[in-house]
A and B are shown apart, each in its own frame.
Chain A
Amino acid sequence: MNRAATVAIGLALLAAIGGAQRLVPDADLTYRPIATSGVVGEEVRVLPYTFRVDGVDLGRTLRLEKSFGDQTMTTGGVWVVVRAGAAATTEQVTLGTAVLRSADGAEFAVSDRVLGLEGESLQAGIWRKGALAFEILPGQVEGARLVISKARYSSIHRLNGALGPAVEIDLGLTRERLAAAGPTVTIKESAP
């Protein structure tokens, strides 16, 4: 083989290495939590717990029923309240981190103004019902999905969700659902 061909093959191999490097998925994709998908009304079972969404309500304001008087809360967006139930599989666990992931990938954290189901202790086999309250921009409601990851056991604290179990629920949120949203959604605050 002459020298020119050797150089050409060498350069082609270098280009191929560069191309292959670009095709390697990044760490965010490689180590993302492994999600089990479901829809409203369906029981979704992951290692730490079983989770089910019973319904979704939308409103411009949130009325929170507390032990010591009710409170009404406004938002710069719209309230999305996910009514759900969950039961631990074998040991006490909390749901962990809950977000509404919009169609464009933005992640809206569960509201820190409301104590919701995400922080409640779940016991093995005992269903606990509650709500997850989110504040989200109206333009992001359509197609938003509920994603719950980083389950927290009382025995193990593993805040990194890499390759851990996750639940992803299609909430069936559409523009029509948003247009039909009531002025106020009412929920009962979870016990701390």
Chain B
Amino acid sequence: MSPHGRGVWRWYGGIAAVVVSSLLIAWPLGGLEDAVKEGPRQISLGQSVTGHRVAIKPGRVAFTTKDPLPWSDAGQKGRYLVLDMDVTNVSPQAVNLTELYLDFDVHADRYHVDPIADLYRQAVLRDDSQGGQINPGMAEKVRFAWVLPASVSEPRQVTVTMRDETWEPSWSLLGYSSGVSLWFKGEVMATLKARVERG
């Protein structure tokens, strides 16, 4: 082989070594895959969306003055916004309703419902009792209820964004995964636009 030919092969060998070594380093760190990102789905009442932790099917949004989640038979009169959903836990661990609630962001017309200050209660509804968690594989009826301030007029439409959660290792300050896995807030998986019924 001529000296020129050897030089070309040396270049090819060098490039191949760089490519192979990059793959060998990238592979143990999780590969080179890059998911195609899609925007959040627009859904309406009766349509379901499935994330990594739960599948949600919103059933009804209502404005009512009757207590939607009374502690006692009498209940408490007020100005309530109510969201009823069918929720199925698709993960292998129990879902706490308080954590699930924080994945929701609600606008009633132009009013941004404050997730802390405006929250009335949230509950898993059964005929005989109420609860606060959903076990793996279980499909439950869930109700979120907020109290709207007197300054906010009766809403006609709500926009609800629902955020997914992903099960990932926790990370150290040095930037590598070192801790046990936790549920982290993920991308917005769906946006619900719905008319508010009265009742």
Contact = CB atoms under 8 A, between A and B. Distances in A.
A35 to B, nearest CB: 15
A113 B178 contact: no
A133 B96 CA distance: 17
A17 B26 CA distance: 11
Nearest to B21: A14
Contacts, number: 87
A109 B93 CA distance: 8
Interface string B100-138: 000000000000000000000000001111011101111
B13 A113 contact: no
Contact of A72 (B24, B92, B128, B131): B128
Contacts of B169: 26-28
Given A14-B25, A27-B181, A28-B181, A109 B92 contact: no
B12 interface: no
A9 interface: no
Interface string B134-158: 0111111000000000000000000
B17 A7 contact: yes
Contacts of A14: 20-21, 24-25
Interface stretch (A49-57, A73-81, A146-154): A73-81
Q: Is the interface of B mostly helix, strand, loop or mixed?
A: mixed
Interface in A97-113: 99, 102, 104-109, 111-113
A109 B135 contact: yes
Interface string A11-45: 10011011001100011100110000000000000
B20 A11 contact: yes
14 contacts: A11-B21, A15-B24, A17-B24, A17-B28, A18-B24, A21-B29, A28-B180, A72-B128, A76-B140, A99-B94, A107-B94, A113-B131, A135-B135, A135-B138
Closest 7 CB pairs of A and B: A21-B28, A109-B94, A106-B136, A106-B92, A14-B24, A18-B28, A108-B135
